[in-house]
């Protein structure tokens, strides 16, 4: 039985890769993530150019050159989130989930195959988006740029890559839990667009809002502001923030799998 389940998971994995490669909407989502990451980084980098000589001109007295590169990833992530939601949720909206589960009765294998396919694609596309964003942002900064090996850069690149992989996987788990793409988008996109960032700036709730997934995950990306500023202070370090995001993702995936396992197809 374990061997048969493993073989079924591999079959689902290969089938999902084929669908991802051939379905136009998913391809557009992936391409949009890389494009948005690069374009926004270049524009922000250009707007920050010259801040070392004249900080006030950029409105950023303590401007961080890595902020210019990685802020655009908060927009690029939306395309990757939509991608993950569509891969998991389109079968619910079209009703083909019945056929998929009939072809792969072992629901653990079905879920594992989808998860592995999405993770593999995200790992590649997210790395490309992060590298493009860093290069474009530093190009925009011109003489104010930093190199690939500058202090903090390798860690920020690695953390940004993990962030762009983990947040869409959280979306995949949430989609399986809610059993549909519309509900998942309705719950997650407002949080990523407005809710968490806004909550983090309200003193009364800042203490717990810092543990929300995007607030924790973006800390390592140099998007939280200077650590000495009490508005942006965290009770944890950069890698701990990534671990908090990973815990949120694991919880969402676990809840999604249990829902798929215990409930009917629709």
Structure tokens at 119: 């993770």
pLDDT value at position 232?
56
Q: In terms of residue numbers, what domain contains 23?
A: 2-193+202-262
- Residue 94 C-beta-side C-alpha neighbours within 13 Å: 10
Per-residue pLDDT of the chain (266 residues; tens, 9 = 90+): 455 667 888 999 999 999 898 888 888 999 999 999 999 999 999 998 876 555 454 444 456 889 999 999 999 999 999 999 999 988 888 888 888 888 888 899 999 999 999 999 999 999 999 999 999 999 999 988 999 999 999 999 999 999 999 999 999 999 999 988 888 888 887 777 655 555 555 666 667 788 889 889 998 998 865 555 554 567 888 999 999 999 999 999 999 999 998 876 55
- The pair of structure tokens assigned to 84 is 């993950």
Beta-carbon contacts of residue 33 (< 8 Å; ≥ 6 apart): 76, 77, 79, 80, 83, 125, 126, 129, 164
* Number of domains, the chain: 1
State pTM to two decimals: 0.89
Instruction: Find, among 77, 71, 79, 33, the residue nearest to 221 by Cα.
Output: 71
CA–CA distance, 255 with 49 (Å, rounded to integer) = 45
Give me 145's structure tokens: 């740029």
């Amino acid at each position: 039985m374990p061997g048969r389940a493993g073989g079924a998971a591999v079959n689902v994995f290969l089938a999902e890769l084929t669908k991802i490669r051939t379905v136009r909407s998913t391809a557009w989502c992936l391409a949009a993530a890389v494009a948005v990451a690069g374009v926004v980084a270049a524009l922000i980098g250009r707007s920050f150019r010259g801040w070392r000589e004249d900080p006030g001109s950029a409105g950023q007295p303590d401007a961080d050159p890595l902020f210019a590169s990685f802020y655009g990833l908060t927009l690029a992530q939306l395309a990757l989130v939509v991608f993950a939601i569509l891969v998991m949720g389109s079968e619910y909206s079209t009703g083909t989930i019945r056929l998929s589960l009939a072809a792969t009765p072992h629901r653990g294998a079905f879920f594992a195959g989808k998860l592995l396919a999405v993770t593999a694609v995200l790992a590649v596309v997210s790395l490309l988006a992060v590298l493009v964003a860093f290069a474009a942002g530093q190009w925009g900064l011109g003489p104010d740029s930093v190199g690939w090996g500058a202090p903090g850069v390798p860690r920020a690149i690695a953390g940004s890559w993990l962030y762009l992989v983990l947040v869409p996987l959280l979306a995949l788990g949430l989609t399986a839990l809610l059993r549909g793409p519309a509900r998942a988008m309705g719950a997650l996109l407002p949080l990523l667009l407005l809710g968490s960032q806004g909550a983090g700036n309200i003193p009364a709730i800042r203490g717990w809002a810092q543990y929300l997934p995007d607030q924790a995950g973006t800390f390592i990306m140099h998007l939280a502001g200077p650590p000495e500023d009490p508005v942006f202070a965290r009770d944890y370090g950069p890698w701990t923030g990534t671990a908090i995001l990973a815990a949120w993702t694991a919880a969402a995936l676990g809840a999604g799998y249990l829902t798929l396992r215990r409930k009917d197809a629709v």
